[in-house]
Amino acid sequence: MGKSRGPVWVIAEQIDCRILEVSFQLIGHGRKLAAALDTTVEAILLGHKMEEHPRQLFAAGGDRVYLGNDPELAVYQPEIYTEIIEKLAKERQPEIILVGSTAMGRELAPLIAARLDTGLTAHCIDLVIDGNKVLESRIPAYGGLLSIICPDRRPQMATIATGVFPNPEPDESRTGEIIPIEVPKKIPRRIQTLEVVREEPEGMDLESATIVVAGGAGAGDPAGWRKIAGLAEVLNAALGATRPAVDEGWAALETMIGQSGKMVSPELYIGVGLSGELQHMVGISGAKIMVAINNDAKSPVFEQVDYGIVDDYREFVPVFIEKIKEYQGKLKTC
Amino acid sequence: MFKIVVCVKAVPDPKEACNIKIDPATKTLMRCDVPMVLNPLDKYALEAALQFKAEFDAHISVLSMGPPEAGNIVKECLALGADRGFLLSDRAFAGADAFATAYTLAKGIEKNGPYDVVFCGMASSDGSTEWVGPEIATFLKIPVVTRIKEIVEYNGQWWTVKAELENGYRLVRVQIPAVFTVTRELNTPRRLSFSGIIKARKKEITRWGIQELGVPEESVGLKGSPSMVSTIASMDSRRKVEILEGKREEKAEQLVQRLVNAGVI
Ligand SMILES: Cc1cc2nc3c(=O)[nH]c(=O)nc-3n(C[C@H](O)[C@H](O)[C@H](O)COP(=O)(O)OP(=O)(O)OC[C@H]3O[C@@H](n4cnc5c(N)ncnc54)[C@H](O)[C@@H]3O)c2cc1C
């Protein structure tokens, strides 16, 4: 009989005692990976007043939850979180560690990976187990889909954005084992999160929007950007951006869609002045209907959407807005 | 004197990034025809150091790992006001993932001597992982705060910074020496000045290879990288594309009709 493999781990994340969607999604997908490896799915949950929460993780597909329940763990504390997870990983030897691609995850994952002397793949859009029982982390790059592997070291680590994997159907009848973990006494304490401040998000939430309008480098200038924002407004849509639009300062980083930004799955996506680079397009693969407005008929974006408009957006968008308003006006009279 | 290290990277010009392709044989990036520029976010890291220096007495070392041509971006940093420039360059360093890159940079930082603060850009435009800063900190065994958008207090051994979060921020108190990775919100980077360029001409760049760093070959470059590319597949779109024809008015009309029929507006 072969040596049994270590578990698949998910670093769960909570904000104000609410477990984030991405944590459930990773547990859901973690089950598939665990099935292929013939092992279990385990979650690490750190917080305070979280006694009841492991149930939700079991319902999502977890077999075991390591629960750190302590006032000191209420908010993300890099040093303590890293210390706890490193120690636990050295003891339990997980085969895989999955981390949500959140602000916390993007800091915590490399801290853990470097402590464990292992590789870490960012912004994965799929995770599969290959014929050698190795984790393949798929990332889009330069017109193709790369599979990244970490062949020799364990654990294999990856970060994944919210919405890459679906929410698992909760099975309330599932149960599991809770293993309490303590806050380590001897740590340097050179860093402390004093406070977490949440601000009202500006504009509509991209991830839950039914319509998303995204603008790209082709917007050209702030006035152009406002035109695109105007289209979003009449459609009651969330406004997203490509990376150059963020770089230019027209749009906020939180509105970036794509591999290193948000994953969205609206009913309708309208891309304006953007070229359809894979790193952006993977962020909207879940959209039902896709439209592109671009003045370059040869732009690759026109190979990836349902409807294409070849035109200067500055001219087309105002006309389009008028037509939408006409339609909306008709709706009101009947 | 207060010692600051800024880690910078030469990246293919993001404005021409689409010309970069994967070499199917070596499975590494072919960056051939794309000019290399200073990674945009690293300008903010350097600016943070320069602003600190303007207020206090400080010495700024700029460190980059890259091919010999990356010397140009180190030179640019010197022209912007950094005091010393280092280029970690060696064939053995090629093909490094974030882990091996961070290891090599950490070794360079250590060799350069005592330091108080290390600034990095939040991410590089070509890799976008955000891993290098936290991994450098781990190798140096010091704390890190990523995605900082404001330095609230920077007197003495404890700094207080705001780090960007989804819809908000974390207020973090940290003991230096520490690594900070910076976002665009932190400052507005200065532009190159003519006098800066003239002054930088006299400044030498120190080049260190694997010998100078004294690190084993297995821990740098491709060999020192735990992760690697295994396969490359193409991605095809599964959508049936329809390009709407006609006058502008007609196209807009048709589009609204299509979207109404699809039940999405
Ligand atoms: C590791 C990595 C991660 C990345 N992650 C992301 C990510 O998460 N999200 C992301 O968006 N990008 C990401 N990028 C960047 C990505 O590769 C592309 O550079 C980016 O998506 C291109 O943005 P764009 O389409 O707006 O710009 P461009 O490619 O410059 O396209 C602009 C388009 O606008 C059109 N245009 C110009 N003027 C007009 C006009 N008047 N009317 C109509 N059309 C016009 C042009 O024809 C052109 O097609 C990443 C890159 C890397 C290397």
The token pair at A220 is 């050209």
One-letter amino acid at B213 equals L
> What pLDDT does B136 receive?
98
B26 lines ligand 1 (CB under 6 A): no
Q: Whose CA is nearest to atom 38 of ligand 1?
A: A218
Beta-carbon contacts of residue A201 (< 8 Å; ≥ 6 apart): A254, B167
> What pLDDT does A333 receive?
58
Over range A227-251, report the average pLDDT. Answer: 95
Q: Is the confidence at residue B141, as pLDDT, over 70?
A: yes
In this structure, the strands spanning B36-38 and B10-12 are: antiparallel
- For residue B86, list its beta bridge partners: B63, B206
Over range A15-32, report the average pLDDT. Answer: 96
Q: Is the confidence at residue A243, as pLDDT, over 50?
A: yes
One-letter amino acid at B176 equals I
B38: Cα separation from own chain's centroid: 8
Domain A8-180: give its CATH superfamily: HUPs (3.40.50.620)
What is the pLDDT confidence band of residue B237, given thresholds at 50, 70 and 90?
Answer: low
CB B118 within 8 A of CB B7: yes
> What pLDDT does A1 receive?
44
Beta-carbon contacts of residue B99 (< 8 Å; ≥ 6 apart): A113, A114, A118, A119, A120, B131, B135, B224, B225, B226, B227
Q: Whose CA is nearest to atom 47 of ligand 1?
A: A296
Instruction: Give A101 Cα–ligand 1 centroid separation in angstroms.
Output: 22
Cα separation, B241 vs A271, in Å, equals: 14
Residues 98-137 of B with CB under 8 A from A: 98-99, 102, 123, 125, 127-131, 133-135, 137
Within chain A, all domains assigned CATH 3.40.50.1220 are found at 206-333
pTM of the predicted protein model: 0.90
Q: Whose CA is nearest to atom 36 of ligand 1?
A: A218
What is the pLDDT confidence band of residue B262, given thresholds at 50, 70 and 90?
Answer: confident
Closest atom of ligand 1 relative to the A260 alpha carbon: 8
Average pLDDT, rounded, for chain A: 94
> What pLDDT does B53 receive?
96
CB A203 within 8 A of CB A251: no
pLDDT tens column, B41-74: 999 999 999 999 999 999 999 999 999 999 999 9
Instruction: Give B188 Cα–ligand 1 centroid separation in angstroms.
Output: 23
Cα separation, A280 vs A282, in Å, equals: 6
Q: Is the confidence at residue A4, as pLDDT, over 90?
A: no
Give the three-state DSSP class for A58: helix
Residues of B in contact with A289 (CB under 8 A): 259, 262, 264
Residues 159-178 of B with CB under 8 A from A: 160, 163-175, 178
Please name the CATH architecture into which domain B2-219 falls: 3-Layer(aba) Sandwich (3.40)
Sequence spans of domains, chain B:
2-219
- For residue A213, list its beta bridge partners: A239, A270
Maximum separation of any 2 CA atoms in chain A, in Å: 73
Of B71 and A334, the structure prediction assigns the larger pLDDT to: B71
Cα separation, B153 vs A73, in Å, equals: 25
pLDDT tens column, A63-77: 999 999 999 999 999
- B33 and chain A: CB distance < 8 Å anywhere? no
Inter-CA distances, A229 with A203, A236, A238, A324, Å = 10, 10, 9, 15
The token pair at B88 is 């970690």
Residue with tokens 């070229």: A275
- B249 and chain A: CB distance < 8 Å anywhere? yes
Cα separation, B236 vs A144, in Å, equals: 9
The token pair at B152 is 């609230």
Residues of A in contact with B239 (CB under 8 A): 290, 304-306
Q: Determine which of A47-61, A292-306, B17-31, B110-124 has the lowest per-residue pLDDT on average.
A: B17-31
Q: Determine which of A195-209, B18-32, B217-231 has the lowest per-residue pLDDT on average.
A: B18-32
Q: Look up residue A240 and give its DSSP letter.
A: E
Question: Closest to A288 (Cβ–Cβ): which among B102, B237, B264?
Answer: B264
What is the pLDDT confidence band of residue B34, given thresholds at 50, 70 and 90?
Answer: confident
Q: Is the confidence at residue A286, as pLDDT, over 90?
A: no
> What pLDDT does B66 receive?
96
- Using alpha carbons, select from B22, B7, B18, B2 the residue that is nearest to residue B234: B22
> What pLDDT does B25 receive?
65
Nearest chain A Cα distance for residue B204, angstroms: 32
Give the three-state DSSP class for A301: helix
Residue with tokens 């030469």: B10
Cα separation, B212 vs A299, in Å, equals: 48
Q: Per CATH, which fold does A206-333 belong to? A: Rossmann fold (3.40.50)
Residue A144 and residue B98: Cβ atoms within 8 Å? no
> What pLDDT does B27 receive?
62
Instruction: Give the A:B interface size as CB pairs under 8 Å.
Output: 242
Over range A159-179, report the average pLDDT. Answer: 95
Residue B252 and residue A322: Cβ atoms within 8 Å? yes
> What pLDDT does A144 receive?
75
What is the pLDDT confidence band of residue B149, given thresholds at 50, 70 and 90?
Answer: very high
> What pLDDT does A215 receive?
98
A36, burial (CB in 10 Å: exposed 0-12, middle 13-18, buried 19+): middle
Instruction: Give A205 Cα–ligand 1 centroid separation in angstroms.
Output: 21
Provide the ipTM.
0.92
A310 lines ligand 1 (CB under 6 A): no
In chain A, alpha helices (H): 21-37, 54-60, 78-92, 103-115, 222-234, 243-247, 278-281, 313-333
- Sign of the torsion formed by the C-alpha atoms of A299, A301, A305 and A310: negative
Q: What is the CA radius of gyration of chain B?
A: 22
Within chain A, all domains assigned CATH 3.40.50.620 are found at 8-180
Residue B164 and residue A235: Cβ atoms within 8 Å? no
Residue B248 and residue A307: Cβ atoms within 8 Å? no
Q: Look up residue A73 and give its DSSP letter.
A: G
A101 lines ligand 1 (CB under 6 A): no
Over range A180-195, report the average pLDDT. Answer: 94
DSSP chain B: -EEEEEEE-EEE-GGGGGG-EE-TTT-SEE-TTSPEEE-HHHHHHHHHHHHHHHHS-EEEEEEEES-GGGHHHHHHHHHHT-SEEEEE--GGGTT--HHHHHHHHHHHHHHH---SEEEEES--TTT----HHHHHHHHHT--EEEEEEEEEE-STTEEEEEEEETTEEEEEEEESSEEEEE-TTS--PPPP-HHHHHHHHTPPEEEE-HHHHT--GGGSTTTT-S-EEEEEEE----PPPEE--S-HHHHHHHHHHHHHHTT--
Cα separation, A130 vs B242, in Å, equals: 37
